[in-house]
Amino acid sequence: MRKLLDLFLAFAKVGVMTFGGGYAMLPILEREIVENKGWATREELMDYYAVGQCTPGVIAVNTATFVGYRTAGNLGGIAATLGVVFPSLIIICLIAGVLTNFAEIPAVKSAFAGIRVCVCVLIFNAVVKLWKGAVPDKAALLLCLAVFVLSVFLDLSPIVFVVFCAAAGILFTRLGVRGE
């Protein structure tokens, strides 16, 4: 029980100190989980990260589940995960509650119109950053462009693309077109 609470609190701390998630979280995890708590080694952490990237979902959550499980079994995994999402729940509910009340003020509307422009640029930058690791060859490029175009013009669920592309990845590898 003590251990579960410990996991919950340690990961709540990681959640509070993370801005942006993903790789932004790595230095904070290293300090809290590797140096302070000794729940994992640096190498293990990198392994969890690698698995987090090749499993669905938010990497921060995957890593928390991993460390929690390794430290205190199934319940540990759950406690660590609840810990990492807990600060988000509190902070976002507070902000969302406040913003809902101010959303109709003209200055707030203007501010968010400006912010939306910034969001475009942030998404563009995220795509450029992901591109380097995700599109290593022509076959992957083809897949990426096909998904982009079809997703813009067709009203299909992203799930369809995900399932299709996993199959295409296996097919391309088998056919040997990968890496060209």
- Beta carbon of residue 35, minimum distance to other proteins (angstroms, whole number): 20
Distances (CA, A) of 82 to 38, 75, 76, 97, 114: 20, 11, 10, 22, 34
Tell me the one-letter amino acid at 64.
A
- Beta carbon of residue 42, minimum distance to other proteins (angstroms, whole number): 16
**Of 34 and 165, CB closest to other proteins:** 165
* 60 in Cβ contact with 25 (< 8 Å): yes
**Of 1 and 128, CB closest to other proteins:** 128
**Of 1 and 152, CB closest to other proteins:** 152
- Beta carbon of residue 37, minimum distance to other proteins (angstroms, whole number): 18
Pairwise CA distance, residues 175 & 139, whole Å: 11
Using the structure block, give the residue that is written with the tokens 């109709």: 104
- Beta carbon of residue 94, minimum distance to other proteins (angstroms, whole number): 9
Phi/psi at 178 (nearest 5 deg)? -70, 140
**Of 6 and 25, CB closest to other proteins:** 25
